[in-house]
Amino acid sequence: MSALATASTGRSSSVDPEALLAIHDLELRARAVLEGVRAGLHRSPFTGFSAEFTEYRQYSPGDDLRYLDWRVLARTDRHYLKKFEEETNLRCFLLVDASRSMSFGAKQVTKAAYARTLIATLAWFLHQQRDVVGTALFDRHVHDVVLPRWRAGHLRHVFATLSREPAGAETNLAAALQETARLCRRRSLIVIVSDFLSSPTTWSGALNELSAAGHDVRALQVLDPAELALDNFGRPAMWEDVETGETRYVDPAHARSAYAARFEEHAAALRTAFDRAAVERLIFRTDEPLDRALLRFLRSRPIRPRGANHATGRS
Amino acid sequence: MSLLAPWFLLGFALIGGPIIAHLIRRATRERVTFSSLRLLEPSPPRLDRRSRVQNPWLLALRCLIVAVLAFGFARPFFRHTPAGAKPPARARHVVAILDESASMRRSGLWDAARSKITNLVGTLHDNDRLVLLTAGTSVHELITSAQWTAALPSDRAGLVRTVLESRQAGWGPTPLDSAVETALSRWEDMAESNDASARHELVIVSDFAAGARTAGLANVDWPASTEVTLEDVTPNDLGNASLHWLGWAEPADGKLAARVRITRSFDAPEALHLQWRNALTDAPVTEREAVTLLPGASEVRLIPWPGEPSASLVLELSGDRQPFDNRLWLTHAPPQSVEIGYVGGDAADDSRHARFYIERAISGWREPIAHLGSDLPATAGSANLVIVTSPPDSAALETLRGRVTAGAFALVLLSSDEMVRVASELAQEPGWTATAPDRADALLGQVDFKHPLFAAFADPLFSDFTRIHFWQPRSIALPAGSKATVAARFEDGSPAVIETVVGQGRLVVWGGDWSPAASQWVLSSKFVPWLQSLAERAAGGSARPAIAEIGDTRRLLANGVPAQWRRLSTPIAASLESTSPEEPGIYELTQGNDRRTVSVLVPRAESEAKTISLDTWEQLGVPVRLTAEQREASTARDSLPAAAPAVLENQQQLWRWLLWVAVALLALESLAAFAIARSRGDSSQPVANR
């Protein structure tokens, strides 16, 4: 209750993620974050164009030929127009990393919990704007897919999916992105939440393909503060890769500088990969309040129209 | 310090175990899971070494535990008592056994042995006690514990010297086991009257010849804290030639010969000679005969007996520098003979009568040699046994009675009722009557196997009399008060065989005739041994040897009869002795009316040149403590190096102390490890996913 009460006070008193994530229910956490987001948000950041197909109708002269169904015309030699719902303005697909590396977290906050809460809050936010939201988890493959829809109870379905414990496998982001491209045939806002610790050379191609498919792809990189500075690891020990099981003897004091250098190299490679795919990347530390993180995301870059996207991509 | 099992020192290699365990434990316990190691480089091993020394004292403690255990398993012991060691606080109860067997007569041994005892006395303190025993033909107590304590401490050494000066090495065997048993009983006596916590020390001063009797030591229950010190003495001259008695032989020419074994050790002189001497006068009987024998060899020879068979001679081996076992005092005792008189008048070749079978039974005897005569009263004067199968006339009966009264045996077969009267008159007991058993086919139903007549059949293997039938049995109804004893009864309980004493002799009455028509007795396998045992008794008893070794002269004696000895060989003794002889020679042995000449020899085991090895002592379970000389000689003797360390280690048992040290270190290590684990738990920082 204290977390909720604190969240309702507005942006100036953001909730510590550790205290927030102590709330077991994901929906409650999302609601608490959303309260803070609303307090700092003045208007919708999204200007969407999404339309939902509903029915066919006979062509009448003067109708916009853009909506003529050419396939039906070719098969039946009849002229039909496709009708669309215009209630929603955004189609959003939230892709959450459920690999084992996301289970890492200093103290009580894991990257996975942080990312799920962030995505749940975002999903709720979009849903309240009558945007259609879908979600999926990925590690080696994409699983637990909830396609974007607009219907009653869909958001609970999304929350239920996000609440599932990760299966615990290594990350194959390239395969996940390729599968996502197959799942999202229509132009969507695709938000990828991951730690992006794997080498970008393995998945940058798939990311380019996804972006080239017309999707507005956003990358949210969630990192633990300990991963950034290699702090609070104490004495030398045998370190085990949580995904591969590989172990090696590491003295944090000795390895810190080299790690920082390599991490910076990795970050540079990520920047290159995301820039090349025209994907905006935001870095979130798990000690950053979630409402601030979400606001930062919402204010980062408006959703681009397709043409602008194409124009940007071609430029 | 030495090690009994040094190969256990390889266990020191196990010290690497704790070191590796420390390193492995660092790697396993201090484990951190991280999201990705892709960006991490392994740290150099320099940091491993630094981590190892975080608890070096704990590692050292564990290494020390392994080292102590390995060292304990190696069974360490001290070969020498540390210099300047304090004298034991506890009193010493010392029993010294001085070997005075025949082998101690070798040159220099006796003086050396007495010197050892004197030196031992010099090491004793005022509160120590000493019992001095000698082991020879028997075990003698030269100085008792009471004598020792009664003497002033300043006089004790003089007491021992005085006692020893009066002693000389004997001629007997070496009964070490008997001496040790005596020592154990003396310790018990001292413990009752003195400090029960005293140290028990047994000092044996001997040449430890291999012929010493040690078999009984295996059964000795040694008291705790007993230490046995073997003080060995060696002769000035190790060479020895010996002469051993093996037995009598009759070569093909029928002349008597002595079978002897001549042994020559490697260091013995080459020129050896054999010669017969008169045992009583020591005068030579034959010329000296040279003996050619290779060093270390022995051979058996038949030496013809040069004199009359009844003479007493000495066979002497000359030329040897150790003469104690070079003389054989020999006397040849002719085999016993028994004169058997037969009163019955039956033809010798008539198989229907008993004589036929008696003659064939006695013809094969070698001891006693029997002669059967049938002319009474001609033979009655010398017969030892008279068998009566038919009633003699009154004169013959009178002669027979006189002979029996004088010591002969008479066997009366009740072939007719008339024979009952004969038996009654011979027994000088009127009133004997003959009765016939109920059944005509009788068997012996009750046999007294303790009776001398049937003692030979006491073994169940021979005690079956149920296959011997008697078809004309007769039993005697003895009057009340009769002295006769019943040796066997028929099935109905009536006496079948009785014996009674008549004067110096004995009368045996058999209830029936021995003819095959009357019984199966003479055809049975029991007839010959039964008759032979009766003849032996009539001849004076079973045959006894005439030659025995010192310490084993009981073989010469008849059981239960007091014996008296008189030495016949030089120096001739004038008086009779009731104790067994302790010197070799020719003796006159008197037991009752029996008087015969016997010879007593030096025990052949005393000629054994080899000594008892320390292995043997260890196998016998003797808690031997080596002397300094033995330790120094251990490298030269084969058996010593292996046995001495085991004995020393068993006495010191340092491994027990090392085991306790290891246990204490283990407890300390457990406490330290627990404290470290606890402090780590308290001070550990919250680290991601550790």
Interchain CB contact of A224 with B (< 8 Å): yes
**Nearest Cα to B209, choosing from B101, B47, B128?**
B101
Q: What is the spatial distance between Cα B167 and Cα A171, in angstroms, rounded to a whole number?
A: 106
The pLDDT value recorded for residue B680 is 63
Average pLDDT value for residue range B390-408:
86
User: In sequence order, what E strands does B128-211 have?
Assistant: 129-135, 139-143, 199-206
Confidence of residue B633 (pLDDT cuts 50, 70, 90): low
Give CA–CA dist A30/A32, Å, rounded. 5
Q: Is A251 on the interface with B (CB under 8 A)?
A: yes
The 3-state secondary structure of chain A reads CHHHHHHHCCHHHCCCHHHHCCCCCHHHHHHHHHHHHHHHCCCCCCCCCCCEEEEEEECCCCCCHHHECHHHHHHHCCCEEEEEECCCCCEEEEEEECCHHHHCCCCCCCHHHHHHHHHHHHHHHHHHCCCEEEEEEECCCEEEEEEEECCCCHHHHHHHHHHCCCCCCCCCHHHHHHHHHHHCCCCCEEEEEECCCCCHHHHHHHHHHHHHCCCEEEEEEEECHHHHHCCCCCCCEEEEECCCCCEEEECHHHHHHHHHHHHHHHHHHHHHHHHHCCCEEEEEECCCCHHHHHHHHHCCCCCCCHHHHHHHHHC
Residues of B in contact with A232 (CB under 8 A): 685-688
pLDDT grade, residue B56 (50/70/90)? confident
CB contact under 8 A, A104 and B34: yes
Quick check: A255 and B31 CB within 8 A?
no
Sign, CA dihedral A35-A37-A42-A44, equals negative
Interface test with A, best of B31, B39, B52 (most A CBs within 10 A): B39
Residues A213-224, mean pLDDT to the nearest whole number: 87
- Would you call A232 and B687 a contact, using CB atoms and an 8 Å cutoff? yes
Whether the predicted model's global pTM rises above the 0.80 cut: no
Average pLDDT over residues B631-656: 63
Cβ of A266 within 8 Å of Cβ of B39? The answer is yes
Confidence of residue B49 (pLDDT cuts 50, 70, 90): very low
Instruction: Write down the mean pLDDT value for chain B.
Output: 82
Chain A contact present for B686, CB below 8 A: yes
Predicted confidence (pLDDT) at residue B26 exceeds the cutoff of 70: no
Averaged confidence pLDDT in chain A: 78
Q: Cβ distance A304 to A216 under 8 Å?
A: yes
| Nearest CB to A248; choose among B33, B42, B686 | B42
For chain B, say whether A255 makes contact (Cβ under 8 Å).
yes
pLDDT band at residue B196 using 50, 70 and 90 as cut-offs: low
pLDDT of residue B369: 79
CA distance B662 to chain A (A): 32
Q: Looking at beta carbons, which residues of chain A come within 8 Å of B31?
A: 237-240, 247
Any B CB within 8 A of A256 CB: no
Q: What is the pLDDT of residue B507?
A: 94
Tell me, letter by letter, the H, E, C secondary structure of B143-164.
Answer: ECHHHHHHCCCCCHHHHHHHHH
Give the contacts of B459 (CB within 8 A, at least 6 positions apart).
none
The verdict on a CB contact (< 8 Å) between B38 and A232 is no
Q: Is the confidence at residue B317, as pLDDT, over 80?
A: yes
CB atoms under 10 Å from CB of B638, counted, come to: 11
> What pLDDT is attached to residue B45?
58
Region A246-270 average pLDDT? 87
Residues from chain B that touch A234, judged by Cβ atoms under 8 A, are 684-685, 687
Q: Which residue in chain A has the smallest CA separation from B680?
A: A235
Q: How far is CA A48 from the centre of its chain?
A: 17
Among residues B556, B554, B585, which one has the least CA distance to residue B330? B585
Residue of higher predicted confidence among B86 and A82: A82
Of B28, B684, B688, the CB nearest to A105: B688
Q: Residue B257: enclosing H or E segment and its boundaries?
A: strand B257-264
pLDDT band at A315 (very low <50, low <70, confident <90, very high): very low
Q: Which of B187-201, B566-580, B676-690 has the lowest mean pLDDT?
A: B676-690
Q: Chain A interface, mutation test: which of B23, B26, B31, B33, most A Cβ atoms within 10 Å? A: B33
Which residues of chain A have a CB within 8 Å of the CB of B39? 197, 259, 262-263, 266
Which of A249, A254, A263, A270 to mutate against chain B (most B CBs within 10 Å)? A249
Smallest Cβ–Cβ distance between A239 and the set B28, B40, B686 belongs to B40
* Alpha carbons B208 and B605: distance in angstroms, whole number: 12
CB B639 within 8 A of CB B613: yes
Site from B24, B26, B31, B40 to mutate, A interface, most A CB atoms within 10 angstroms:
B40
Residue A219, strand partner residues: A192, A281
Out of B32, B41, B44, closest to residue A240 by CB: B32
- Chain B positions touching A263 (Cβ under 8 A) are 39
> Who wins on pLDDT, A215 or B317?
B317
CB proximity B681 to A under 8 Å: no
pLDDT at residue number B381:
64
SS3 B206: strand
What three-state secondary structure class fits B106? coil
Report the pLDDT value the prediction gives residue A219, as an integer from 0 to 100.
92
d(CA A14, CA A294): 12
Is residue B662 within a helix (H) or strand (E), and if so which, with residue range?
helix B654-683
C-alpha span between B246 and B302 (Å, rounded): 10
Structure confidence at residue B667 (pLDDT)? 92
Chain A residue at shortest CA distance from B37: A241
CB-based contact B39 A259, cutoff 8 Å = yes
Mean pLDDT of A23-37: 72
Give which of A202, A248, A259 to mutate to test B binding, by max B Cβ within 10 Å. A248
Measured between CA atoms, how close is A172 to chain B, in angstroms?
Answer: 14
Integer Cα distance of A294 and A310 in angstroms: 27
Chain A residues with CB-CB distance to B53 below 8 A: none
Asked if the Cβ–Cβ distance from A101 to B36 is below 8 Å, we say: yes
Q: Which of A106, A246, A248 sits opposite B688 (nearest CB)?
A: A106
3-state secondary structure of B17: helix
Task: Return the residue of B nearest to A223 by Cα.
Answer: B35
Question: Which pLDDT tens digit goes with each residue over B205-255?
Answer: 999 988 888 888 888 888 877 888 888 888 888 788 999 999 888 766 777
* Mean pLDDT score, A184-202: 88
Cα–Cα dist B363/B9, whole Å: 78
**pLDDT higher for A34 or B131?**
B131
Residue B442 has pLDDT above 90, yes or no: no
For residue B45, the chain A residues in CB contact (below 8 A) are 249
**Scanning the structure block, which residue is given the tokens 């034959």?**
B286
> Cα(B517)–Cα(B528) distance, rounded to whole angstroms?
18
Cross-chain residue pair A254–B44, CB shorter than 8 Å: yes
A134-138, A177-181, B196-200, range with the lowest pLDDT: B196-200
pLDDT, position B638: 45
What average pLDDT does the segment B505-512 reach? 92
A105, A106, A250: residue with CB nearest B40 = A250
- How far apart CA B102 and CA B583 sit, in angstroms, is 10
What count of CB pairs under 8 Å joins A to B? 116
Contact B286, B311 (CB under 8 A): no
Q: Which of A227, A238, A242 is closest, CB to CB, to B30? A: A238
Considering only alpha carbons, which residue of chain B is nearest residue A225?
A: B688
Whether the link from the prior residue into B368 is cis, omega within 30° of 0, is yes
Q: Which is more confidently placed, B113 or B614? A: B113
> Cβ contacts (< 8 Å) between A243 and chain B: which residues?
35-36
What is the amino acid identity at position B422? Answer: V
Chain B, nearest residue to A103 by Cα? B35
CB distance A255–B35 less than 8 Å? no
Burial of B582 (0-12, 13-18, 19+ CB in 10 A): middle
pLDDT at A306: 40
Searching chain A, which residue's CA lies closest to the CA of residue B687? A233
Q: Which residues of A touch B40 (CB under 8 A)?
A: 239, 248, 250, 255, 258-259, 262
Section B456-476 average pLDDT: 85
B559 inside 8 A of chain A by CB? no
**Is B658's pLDDT higher than 70?**
yes
* Interchain contact A263–B (C-beta under 8 A): yes
**pLDDT band at residue A192 using 50, 70 and 90 as cut-offs:** very high
Closest CA to A187 of A97, A89, A280: A89
Q: How confident is the model at residue A2 (pLDDT cuts 50, 70, 90)?
A: very low
pLDDT > 80? residue B497:
yes
Do the chains contact at A254 and B43, CB–CB below 8 Å? Answer: yes
Residue B34 tokens, joined: 């991280």
Which of residues 140 through 199 in chain A touch B, CB cutoff 8 A? 195, 197-199
Question: Do A236 and B47 make contact, defined as CB atoms within 8 angstroms?
Answer: yes
Per-residue pLDDT band for B632 (boundaries 50, 70, 90) equals low
Give the pLDDT of residue B187. 80
Which of B35, B44, B688 has its CB closest to that of A101?
B35
* Residue A6: predicted pLDDT: 36
- Neighboring chain B residues of A197 at a CB cutoff of 8 Å: 35-36, 38-39
pLDDT tens digit sequence for A77-113? 888 887 665 544 678 899 999 888 888 887 778 888 8
Neighbours of B380 (CB within 10 A): 23
Tell me: pLDDT of B113 over 60. yes
The secondary element (H helix, E strand) that includes residue B535 is helix B527-539
Q: How far is CA B362 from the centre of its chain?
A: 37
